[in-house]
Amino acid sequence: MGDNIIIRVQSPDGMKKIPSTKRETAATFLKKVAKEFGFNSNGFSVYINRNKTGEVLSQNKSLNLLKIKHGDMLFLFPSASSSSSSSGEVMDTATPHTSSSLPSISSSFSSSSSSSLIPRSSSAPQVQEDQIDQYLAKQDGKIYRNRDPQLCRHGALGKCVHCVPLEPFDEDYLNHLDPPVKHMSFHAYLRKLTGGADKGKFAALENISCKIKSGCEGHPPWPEGICTKCQPSAITLNRQKYRHVDNIMFENHTIADRFLDFWRKTGSQRMGYLYGRYTEHTDIPLGIRAEVAAIYEPPQSATQNSLELLEDPKAAAVDEIAAKLGLCKVGWIFTDLLSEDTRIGTVRYTRNQDSFYLSAEECITSGYFQNQYSNPCRLSRDGYFGSKFVTVVATGGPDNQVHFEGYQVSNQCMALVRDECLLPCKDAPELGYAKESSPEQYVPDVFYKDKDKFGNDVTFLARPLPVEYLIIDITTTFPKDPQYTFTSTQRFPIENRDILGETQDFHSLATYLSQCSSASFLDIVSDFHLLLFLVTNEVMPLRDSIGLLLDAVKTSNEELAQTWKKSEQWATIEQLCSTVGGQPSSSLGYEAMGGPAAPASSSAMWSCLHCTFMNQPGTEHCEICSLPRS
């Protein structure tokens, strides 16, 4: 009996105990494992370590000689050929996952250090994480310190408590940075979860749900019945310890200035989507930076005090173009500006600690966008957790100049918005309101903690709710040395600015090309708004033939750009521009003296002043909108 031992074998389908003996050969033991798990003799591999090292081979050596003892845990991995016919799930190890692409974000994941091992249950989906997550998972992440000449009493190769590397989630280190960092990075938070002796074996990221669980058959459905099994838990709002994005950086001031031009000329507020990429933010351990390369302004209706988004038929095309340029939608930006003194260009300082930083309605909108663009995460059973989608507000600062403030809302806010449990207050923008349960919807209780007049911690029901409990602030910066993804020095009109008299048509394209006559072709076409026009215009859309040009802009390859310039499509574009080049821009419609523009020669094609359709010569009314030529 003293030779009898039990070996635990863990597989993607769970763990099983295999009875054996110390003198049993490895070949006999592997046959028992195959029979127990239902594999053929070569459909799996067994390793001593989780990271696929120390493989147990089919040989005549005894388990005792292989140093496999009673109670040891071995790890079984199905081979590629059998995994598809078996469970289809492979345990997470230090081997990188293959990368793939999401619709708007290039994504993949890998891990190389033992501290970043994130085991997952067999029910969790295979998830391809973002490219930046893949990169940061490979990094050591530790904060290395130099030898302290006063406190360290060891040699140059030694380490002590005063110079040993710190973990990336060390709160004392983050608090002593200048300025102090209130939120650790998301990857530092993952290292904290997966550190320790168990290497995160029992760690899991659970998405909050405010809905009743379906499938409970012990009682009638809500509102007739509910039980503790299907009832969602109450939510107590807490300050989130981490943030998914640690910094927002505009590549150059031109991007922001062109966006602000709309408010400067009309006084109405403006909204746009931020397109860029996620990179490493080195100022914070394992930090992530959202770099903004362009702003797309969708159709919208705006006044001085309101902003309404309209349906955008070009949204899918914009995302497709951005993806081919190596960009993705990283956030949204809106203005909240009121002029104070137009002579010196100052604005009012309205968003501060005495009012609000984000209103409840803006928090709900941010939560909506963050739920739309969730963050792929393999540690979550749902395959996603949180979001990297950021919110930027252009508003007045303490010096009465325009400042850009970055925010995200917490994962708790995302859950409340996703399940339609949070409402804004009409007369108090700084307050939200947790809905009450109704026969149509059960809403769990939402609480927050605050101090009463005696300094005691008191729990309050979130009706109403200060939105400060939902907000995470993010530093927004501009680089000392400007960067340019799009290198064009001239400005092609921005989309959806017809109210300013700035339209995207072949008149404006002809004007733009005439201004860029001395620049190289790559610099001419390296403009985000110009590329959008070439793809989405109704006269000569190039959606299926512009791939080579987008590759040229992405890689800054002049040869590729010159190759595309010789195509029939660009020749047609040039012909259209030369045809309409002598006419006044349709964005003006009037000559300098104030009278109506004179029609061009009847022997050439003409562009409608109202819908920009290219009509055949000799016609006086547009074939599309039937409006007169002049």
Tell me if residue 296 falls in helix, strand or coil. Answer: strand
Domains 4-78 and 129-433+467-485 share a fold: no
Tell me if residue 603 falls in helix, strand or coil. Answer: coil
Which one of 60-64, 122-126, 182-186 scores highest in mean pLDDT?
182-186
Full DSSP string of 168-191: TT-HHHHHTSSSPPSSEEHHHHHH
Extents of the domains making up the chain: 4-78, 129-433+467-485, 498-581
Task: Summarize the confidence of residues 413-439 as an average pLDDT.
Answer: 92
Task: Summarize the confidence of residues 306-333 as an average pLDDT.
Answer: 94
* CA distance readout (Å), 323 to 261, 372, 529: 27, 17, 15
Q: State the chain's mean pLDDT as an integer.
A: 83
User: In sequence order, which ranges of 181-314 are alpha helices (DSSP H)?
Assistant: 186-194, 253-266
Kindly report the CATH class assigned to 4-78: alpha beta
pLDDT at 311: 94
Which one of 114-128, 170-184, 327-341 scores highest in mean pLDDT?
327-341
pTM, 2 dp: 0.73
pLDDT at 408: 96
Handedness of CA 112, 118, 119, 122 (dihedral sign): negative
Task: Summarize the confidence of residues 284-305 as an average pLDDT.
Answer: 94
Candidate CATH numbers 3.30.70.380, 2.30.40.10, 3.40.50.300, 3.40.140.10; the one for domain 129-433+467-485: 3.40.140.10
Task: Summarize the confidence of residues 316-335 as an average pLDDT.
Answer: 95
Point out the least confidently predicted range of 113-127, 321-335, 522-536.
113-127
Residue 587: count other Cβ atoms within 10 Å of its Cβ: 19
For residue range 134-192, list pLDDT tens digits in order.
899 888 888 888 888 888 888 888 888 888 888 888 888 888 887 888 899 999 999 88
Task: Summarize the confidence of residues 440-466 as an average pLDDT.
Answer: 88
Token digits of residue 509:
């394209």
For residue range 234-258, list pLDDT tens digits in order.
999 988 999 999 999 999 999 999 9
Token digits of residue 521:
């072709």
Tell me if residue 66 falls in helix, strand or coil. Answer: coil
* CA distance readout (Å), 148 to 161, 170, 440: 10, 19, 65
Q: How far is residue 289's CA from residue 272's CA, in Å, rounded to a whole number?
A: 19
Tell me what percent of the residues of the chain surpass a pLDDT of 70: 87
Q: What confidence tier does 200 reach under pLDDT thresholds 50, 70, 90? A: low
One-letter amino acid identity for 187?
H
Task: Summarize the confidence of residues 442-467 as an average pLDDT.
Answer: 88
